Amino acid sequence: MTDYAMFWGCTIPARFPFMEKSIRLVVDKMGVGLHDIEGATCCPTKSIIKVGDEFTWYVTAARNLCLAENMGMDLLTPCNGCYSSLKAAAAELHINHRLQRDVNEVLANAGLKYTGNLQIKHLVEVLYDDLGTDEVKKHITRPLDGIKIAVHYGCHMIRPSSAIHFDDPNHPTKFDLLVEALGANSMDYPTKMLCCGSDLNNADNPSDAVTLSREKILEVQELADAMTMMCPACFAQFDSKQYLMQKSGERVHLPIVYFTELMGLAFGFEAAELGMDMHRVETDSFLETWYERSKHLESAREHFDLTALRSCYECAACIDDCPVTKIIPQFEPNRIIGDVLHGKLDQIVESPDIWYCINCYTCYELCPQKFGMVKVFDRLKTLSCERETAPEGFKGGLQMFMDTGKLGEPTAMRKKLKLPKPPKSGADDLRELMKVIKKRKKSGLKSGSGSSSTKPDKVSEDELRENEVREDEILEDELHEDETRKDKLREVDANKEKQEAGE
């Protein structure tokens, strides 16, 4: 378990306890230990305290850092503002030894000494850099497939880059990749790097405080299902301020979802458990869209191993090698797999496109995981047969086989070529077997569906035991036959020896 000294800051405990709840739920599931820092105060925020009294700002920041140092852990914060303040103060104290000495002189009065012997981490940093997207994916039970999310980084998660060093300050990607790890699409949008405008609250005109947020909300509501962020101040701008805009009659509606709430949903927690009903802007429309899509995904999960399917979709390494894609542009294997993951199974099963897979197994042979897209298409085609939406030509062939056990009868042309009479047809015997298969199906007995399945059929314990007993019997029979064969050989050898001796 990775343990951190948890610096909650002022805003989350005071205004948004549901954020604390979702953070605790998801990091606990990922095996991260959070240890509250007793006696912590405001970070302190740069935009007020640093401007008002810079030395007090350093002393307060250093005091908070000392408390975490004394716990022997790195400090973790889920707030951009706290992250930026604490990192900026630590960066200056690290290079300015005179400042550090003065700060420590003051801290000595409280029995503290700042050494700078700890790391300050943002929760996104811990999730992306320390734990990694693969670890996040392991806990997903209800992926956000097909959901369009606009990521708002928030200035202080990436800037000033001289102190932060988390991601590219102008073109960051790590938060987007975390959102995509949950299965959602992280949207690109022109105002992505625009500040939320929270500091405009320090200026005197309250209406100015929403100008930047409004610009972003108006743009994003047209292209995403929701916006996410990892900063309580940004959240307040987009959620609480948006609510005020709605109240004053502005036609805006963009659900705002804190990132650990998105993770919580994907990890299987319920919206109510995460406290999502405590937002000012309703999130029901977003949740309904998601539930609707997950319902479709449920049916996809019955037929596919969605984790394997998602890896194939994200890999896309062999799609250009598929011979059909080169000549039939509407055959887009990766798009078809994506559609299944995005809740469109019914549509795909009925689509003629799945029949363009020609079973050449090129993808299987090239696949490093030996997965092969062919497996997906085989299953889709089987579903299409079950739903009677297969192409007529295919249906005709299948019907002919079911009726006659064959796909063609020898013709008189063989005689012309003086070929021998064709061997006796086993069609009648096969037809009898087919009756048995039909009976088994009717009584609900499972037949091994072989390697074409992307999800192994579940076999009951009784079936397993029955199989074991049957295998033992077969083995015994084989051994018995073997012994009889050996006895016979011995007999033949003995007779031969006798004959030779007689001569």
Residues of the shown chain interacting with ligand SF4 in the complex, contacts defined by CB under 6 A: 80-81, 154-156, 195-196, 198-199, 231, 233-234, 311-312, 315-318, 322, 324, 333, 357-363, 366-367, 369, 371-374, 377
Kindly tell me the burial class for residue 358, based on how many C-beta atoms sit within 10 Å of its own C-beta (0-12, 13-18, 19 or more): middle
Q: Sign of dihedral through CA atoms 157, 161, 164, 169?
A: positive
CB of 304 to ligand SF4, least distance (A): 13
Q: Supply the minimum distance, in Å, between the C-beta of residue 196 and ligand SF4.
A: 4
93: its two tokens: 């104290």
The CB-of-370 to ligand SF4 minimum distance in angstroms stands at 8
Q: Which amino acid is at 210?
A: V
Residue closer to ligand SF4, measured from CB, 244 or 479: 244
Residue 194 CB, nearest approach to ligand SF4 (Å): 9
Q: What is the C-alpha separation between 403 and 395, in angstroms, rounded?
A: 12
Kindly state the smallest distance separating residue 229's Cβ from ligand SF4, in Å.
7
Choose between 272 and 327: whose C-beta lies nearer to ligand SF4.
327
Residue 393's nearest CA partner among 407, 380, 403, 404 is 407
Give 115 or 452: the residue with its C-beta nearer to ligand SF4: 452
- As a whole number of Å, the end-to-end CA separation of the chain is 86
* Residue whose CB is less far from ligand SF4, 69 or 199: 199
Dihedral sign (CA 278, 283, 284, 290):
negative
∠ CA 288-293-297, rounded to 5°: 140
Please state, in angstroms and as integers, the Cα–Cα distance from residue 205 to each residue in 200, 281, 457, following that order. Answer: 8, 23, 65
Q: Provide the sign of the torsion angle of the four alpha carbons 318, 322, 328, 334, taken in this order.
A: negative
Could you tell me if 226 and 76 are in contact, meaning their C-beta atoms sit under 8 angstroms apart?
A: no
Torsion, CA 126, CA 128, CA 133, CA 139, rounded to 10 = 30
Q: Which is nearer to ligand SF4, 118 or 155 (CB)?
A: 155
Q: Shortest gap between Cβ of 5 and ligand SF4 (angstroms)?
A: 22
Tell me how far apart the alpha carbons of residues 476 and 224 are, in angstroms, rounded to a whole number.
65
Task: Give me the least distance between CB of 198 and ligand SF4, in Å please.
Answer: 3
Q: How far is the CB of 334 from ligand SF4 (least distance, A)?
A: 7
Of 102 and 332, which has the nearer Cβ to ligand SF4?
332
Nearer to ligand SF4, 358 or 430 (CB): 358
Shortest gap between Cβ of 205 and ligand SF4 (angstroms)?
17
Structure tokens at 190: 């022109």
Beta carbons of 120 and 75 less than 8 angstroms apart: yes
SS (H, E, C) 146-185: CCEEEECCCHHHHCCHHHHCCCCCCCCCHHHHHHHHCCCE
| DSSP H helical ranges for 199-343 | 211-220, 232-238, 240-247, 259-266, 284-303, 306-315, 323-327, 333-341
Considering only CA atoms, which of 51, 55, 43, 64 is closest in space to residue 116? 64
Minimal distance, residue 268 CB to ligand SF4, in Å:
26
Quote the least distance from Cβ 231 to ligand SF4, whole Å: 4
